[in-house]
Amino acid sequence: MKENNKMKALIGLGNPEVKYKTTRHNTGFLIMDEILKNHNVSLGDKFNSFFAKKGDILYLLPKTYMNLSGNAVIEMMNFYKLTNKDILVIYDDATIDFGTFRLKSSGSFGGHNGIKSIINRIGTDVFDRLKVGVGPVSENMSIDSFVLSNFTSDELNKISIMAKEAVKLVDCWINEGMEKAQNKFNRKII
């Protein structure tokens, strides 16, 4: 059962320009695309984001670019009177092996500027997050170059499989809570 029958928000992090569409740093957007398709949701424009509300679920993909993601998140949270316990942020993590899901309820920004922006704007590092492993970083690349590089076609196929698993994960998070979702989905998916 949904806790308190309260609104929940799914937030995917990425960069809005087409040139970033298949980069590792756009993993949050790629995962959200599958969630939106599965939930039969079309996005509009609100909070300087691609946004939709369906029932008591909010969907947000900030158009602010990664480093300012928190601006869109806090605007939506304030409008709908959400707390830090009502959101799930989906994003890439280059320190985790490719194909791995790691669900956490708090933590530092870990070098991810989108998460840093959200922490700064909402005033806490306590919020649910789904880190999607895209690592390890290639030895001959900086982390910035790595996350802004495109997935290979094989990796994109695997991301598609992971996205389908992420649909089950968010449905579990919405209906059964974070602990159940962690027990079921904190693992290597591919």
For 178, which DSSP code? H
Q: Stretch 41-65: mean pLDDT, rounded?
A: 97
Mean pLDDT computed over 122-134: 98
Write down the pLDDT at residue 4.
Answer: 44
Domain ranges of the chain: 3-188
| Digit-coded pLDDT (tens) for 70-81 | 999 999 999 999
Amino acid 3: pLDDT: 43
- Within 8 A by CB and 6+ apart from 64, the residues are 48, 49, 71, 72
Catalytic residue list contains 112: no
User: What is the rounded average pLDDT of the residues 73-92?
Assistant: 98
DSSP category for residue 17: S
Percentage of the chain modeled with pLDDT above 90: 96
Q: Which of 24, 25, 102, 112 is catalytic?
A: 25
pLDDT tops 60 at residue 36: yes
CB-based burial label for 55 (10 Å; 0-12, 13-18, 19+) = exposed
Match domain 3-188 to its CATH number in 3.40.50.1470, 3.40.50.1000, 3.20.20.70, 3.10.20.90: 3.40.50.1470
Q: Is-contact 37 25, C-beta < 8 A? A: no
To 10 degrees, what angle do helices 153-176 and 178-185 make?
A: 140
- Predicted pLDDT of residue 1: 36
d(CA 56, CA 6): 7
* For range 147-155, the mean pLDDT: 96
**Computed from CA positions of residues 123, 126, 131, 137, in that sequence, does the dihedral angle turn out positive or negative?**
positive
Q: Is 14 helix (H, G, I), strand (E, B) or coil?
A: coil
